[in-house]
Amino acid sequence: MSDSEAETFTYNGGSVAPGEAANIRYGVSETYLGDPVRIPVTIVNGERPGPTVFLSAAIHGDELNGIEVVREVANEWDHTELRGTVVCLPVLNVPGFLAQQRYLPIYDRDLNRAFPGSANSTSSKRIAHRIFRNFIEPCDYGLDFHTSTRGRTNMLHVRADTGDDRVDRLARAFGSNVIISSEGPDGALRKEATERGVPTITIEMGKAHEFQRDFIDRALDGVKSVFSEFGLRTTSAVKWPGWRTVVDGSSDKTWLRADSGGIVEMHFSRGSFVREGETICTITNPFETTANEVTAPFTGLLVGILQNPLVFPGNPICHLVELDAGTRRVIEREQRP
């Protein structure tokens, strides 16, 4: 790349030359009043050549942490030394964001099942199409930020199809402790972008409806690390998180579900290490006449836990993933006082 020229970034309706940055409001649909529905886009094109990377958030309208990550990269980072182009998409699902709900309010559709979209199909697929064509397809890599669904909370982890070498490199470069490997569902931005030559990972962190500063800072470190791995920044280093576990098809992972209705008293926090047989939480009723203990079926990490402590039988309580022996030793060493 070093001997090539920096390229102009073009989308349907404009272009951003090397050394320029642009804030765009890009029309992706129309309201019932016929007004445009426009997504905010910031494109920063470095003076020097390098890869083009997109950062997206709020494809689920109430997942806020990623918005702040993307916004800070776009507006607060110094891009004078940038090699390549950064496409910042802080709020993909604008109708959901305005209503502060996960799905598109139009027929309650999941925008993250509508990619790569279609110009002549449903409203959600048309929105997806306009986003994908203009701002995803021209990129070389992508980072899509999410949080847990309302009522639950996640530790920061990456979801990626590590069977694909380019995705694996991107996932590791982000520097999270935990990577959960899967292709992802059909229609998800990460899967469809990856299949069309834009390796993309999802970053899951924390809960909906909040800005959680610790997560945002760690994610910004992850973005920095990715940028140095792929040469967009030469001033920061690729991050080694201290320990890393890749959860794939061969690892045990499970959502433990409540077998009784009641009030959950959680004994561990998100991200905790639990040993086989340990009591993760207790489910009681208001009279505290019965208490059902939920124990860990294997030694692992609590990647996600419920946030709302009220459950019906069958509701998910926590997401437990198995750790290999080497990772377990590192964590145990870290947790020793």
| Closest residue to bound Zn ion by CB | 146
What is the four-CA torsion angle of 8, 11, 15, 21, rounded to 10 degrees?
-90
Comparison of 125 and 146: residue with beta carbon closer to Zn ion: 146
Strands 36-45 and 21-30: antiparallel
**Least Cβ distance, residue 57 to Zn ion (angstroms):** 9
Residues 59-88 that bind Zn ion (CB under 5 A): 60, 63
Q: Does 146 bind Zn ion (CB under 5 A)?
A: yes
**Least Cβ distance, residue 202 to Zn ion (angstroms):** 8
- What is the per-residue binding string for Zn ion in 292-331, x denoting contact by CB under 5 A? ----------------------------------------
Among candidate residues 259, 261, 277, 285, the one with its CA nearest the CA of residue 320: 277
Comparison of 16 and 156: residue with beta carbon closer to Zn ion: 156
Among candidate residues 83, 12, 230, 28, the one with its CA nearest the CA of residue 142: 230
**Least Cβ distance, residue 63 to Zn ion (angstroms):** 5
Say if CB 274 and CB 302 are below 8 A apart: yes
For residue 76, give both structure tokens: 């607060």
Q: HSE-up of 78 (CA within 13 Å, CB side)? A: 5
Comparison of 67 and 317: residue with beta carbon closer to Zn ion: 67
Instruction: Label residues 175-198 b or e (16+ Cβ within 10 Å = b).
Output: bbbbbbbbbbeebbbbbbbbbeeb
Q: Does 207 bind Zn ion (CB under 5 A)?
A: no
Comparison of 94 and 281: residue with beta carbon closer to Zn ion: 94
Residues 34-63 that bind Zn ion (CB under 5 A): 60, 63
In the complex, which residues of this chain contact Zn ion (CB under 5 A)?
60, 63, 146
